[in-house]
């Protein structure tokens, strides 16, 4: 079970996520998000944790950005993976040569199957991030989605489950969906863009314990 803590904006929270046991750290490059991190700040954070890079993976989250900008952020910040969270085409995934996966927000199983057929790359982990659908927001809504849809996809693909996950519900989400990994942002915050370090520890512990119980 992989654990991603997303929406990191400062060095203290990045270290707290690592110390809590996160496997992936997410940095949001969408300017309209309250969790937006400026490229220079992201570069400083990643430089500060560089000595731990063998233990964790870093993920840049983009919404309908140009491939040129994404590649620049990979180079400037040293990001390991890219999460495309807008309306990007499957060609964008292909152009990033196995370093990207797609965030989807399906409302039905039929739509989930269609999106997976388009976007789930071969031999990519995760193949998809499944988030809660929302008419206006791309993520960070604090709302849980329909876990039966995510479970349907998780039976066939390495799915990273997102959407309203927090210490109180992550164990049940893991039991129901059995995903490849879980992703938290608003559920482990004190205010948008600032993590609650106690919640980080509780989230990771709850997720790890749920996995043990499933074994």
145 neighbors 164 (Cβ within 8 angstroms): yes
pLDDT > 90: percent of the chain:
87
Residue 24: exposure state from Cβ atoms within 10 A (0-12, 13-18, ≥19): buried
Retrieve residue 6's tokens: 């997303």
List 6, 13, 42, 183, catalytic entry: 6
Q: If you average pLDDT over every residue of the chain, what do you get?
A: 93
Mark whether 131 is an active-site residue.
yes
Helix (H, G, I), strand (E, B) or coil at 81: strand
List 13, 77, 131, 183, catalytic entry: 131
- The whole-number pLDDT of residue 145 equals 72
pLDDT band at 142 (very low <50, low <70, confident <90, very high): low
> DSSP class of residue 125?
S
Residue 163 CA to residue 184 CA, distance in Å, equals 7
- pLDDT tens digits, 8-39: 999 999 999 999 999 999 999 999 999 999 99
Retrieve residue 70's tokens: 């994404």
Retrieve residue 113's tokens: 């199957």
CATH number at residue 56: 3.20.20.70
Our count of domains for the chain comes to: 1
pLDDT > 70: percent of the chain:
95
Range(s) of the domain holding residue 65: 2-214
Residue 165 CA to residue 162 CA, distance in Å, equals 6
- pLDDT tens digits, 39-84: 999 999 999 999 988 889 999 999 999 999 999 999 999 999 999 9
How many helices (H) and strands (E) are present in the chain, helices listed first? 8, 10
- pLDDT tens digits, 55-65: 899 999 999 99
pTM for the model? 0.93
């Amino acid at each position: 079970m992989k654990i991603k803590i997303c929406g990191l904006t400062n060095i203290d929270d990045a270290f707290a996520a690592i110390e809590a046991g996160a496997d992936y750290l997410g940095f949001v490059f969408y300017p309209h998000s309250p969790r937006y991190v400026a490229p220079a700040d992201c570069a400083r954070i990643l430089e500060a944790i560089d000595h731990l890079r063998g233990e964790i993976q870093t993920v840049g989250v983009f919404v309908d950005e140009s491939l040129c900008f994404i590649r620049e952020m990979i180079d400037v910040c040293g990001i390991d993976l890219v999460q495309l969270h807008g309306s990007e085409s499957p060609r964008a995934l292909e152009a990033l040569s196995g370093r990207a996966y797609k965030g989807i927000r399906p409302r039905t199983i039929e739509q989930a199957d269609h999106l997976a057929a388009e976007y789930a790359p071969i031999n990519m982990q995760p193949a998809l991030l499944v988030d809660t659908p929302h008419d206006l927001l791309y993520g960070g809504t604090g709302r849980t989605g329909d876990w039966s849809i995510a479970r349907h996809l998780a039976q066939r693909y390495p799915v990273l489950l997102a959407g309203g996950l927090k210490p109180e519900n992550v164990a049940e989400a893991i039991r129901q969906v059995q995903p490849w990994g879980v992703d938290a942002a608003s559920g482990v915050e004190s205010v948008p863009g600032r993590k609650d370090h106690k919640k980080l520890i509780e989230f990771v512990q709850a997720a790890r314990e749920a996995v043990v119980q499933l074994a």
